[in-house]
Amino acid sequence: MARRPNAALLAVLVVAMGCRHAAQPPAPLPAGWRVLAVEPRAFSALYRFSCCGHRGLVLTVRGDGERLSLAVAVPPGGTALAAWVGPGGGFVERVKQGCREALPPGVLPVAAGASLPIDPALAALLLSGLLPAGARELPELPGWVEAANGGLTWRAQVTGPEPHWTRVLLTRVGDATPAMSVVRTDEEGRVPHRLVLTAGTVKADLDLQAWRPSGAPAPPAWLTAPECGARP
């Protein structure tokens, strides 16, 4: 028996898709969409990056679905942010203090005082254009799939003819309002070239410059620094 549509979810999705999409029924899922529901492979990526009132930044990312290394630079030189994140949390480098600050699980920093509510596995899926392995079709919402991942419910709109997702909504269990939305604004293959990520007041724009398969990310040298606030 098909599940009855959740009224709160339907309202959120209608608003998210906009009036143009609300005026016509969503398209069905493209054939072969399950090719996207796989584990991500290790990768390296370079982006032009804007966030939190800053533009023209450079973002480098290395991830493998378990660990993620991230650095934000201000051209022509200088690192604005460096972070290392794993399944149980991570660290941010505090260069001026000569220490590293601990991060709780499920937090990905993107600027000073700004973060996204995702872990390395979700980040790798989003940047790779993939879906969680357990994704299933939502009969009550044609063109959408759903999965649970990283303590969040993941709902993605998938289109074709070459299957790719165009929008992702991440919602905490028991909360009808998405904790984060991701919009893809290009149609250039499976790996997204342009992404807009929004979580509360944090909005980040990513414009892909280079992407390649790589080995697993190596822990950065600054991880040997003492934790901030630790006694000698």
pLDDT value, residue 231 = 59
pLDDT at 25: 62
pLDDT in tens, 6-26: 544 444 444 444 444 444 566
> Mapped to the 3 state alphabet, what secondary structure does 5-49 carry?
CCHHHHHHHHHHHHHHHHCCCCCCCCCCHHHHCCCCCCEEEEEEE
70 token code pair: 């991230």
Which residue bears the tokens 């505090």?
Answer: 94
Per-residue buried b or exposed e for 120-151, using 16+ beta carbons within 10 Å of the residue's own CB: bbbbbbbbbbbbbeebebbeebebbbbbebbe
Which pLDDT belongs to residue 232? 58
Lowest-confidence range among 16-30, 60-74, 156-170, 191-205? Answer: 16-30
Q: Which token pair is 187?
A: 């149609």
CA dihedral 84, 87, 89, 90 (to 10 degrees): -10
Top pLDDT among 143 and 20 is at: 143
User: Residue 228 and residue 49: Cα distance in Å, rounded?
Assistant: 28
Per-residue pLDDT tens for 50-70? 998 889 999 999 999 999 999
CA atoms within 13 A of residue 151's CA, in its CB half-sphere: 10
Number of residues written out for the chain: 232
Domains in the chain, ordered, with CATH? Answer: 29-216 (2.50.20)
- Condensed to tens digits (0 to 9), the pLDDT of residues 104-128 reads 999 999 988 899 999 999 999 999 9
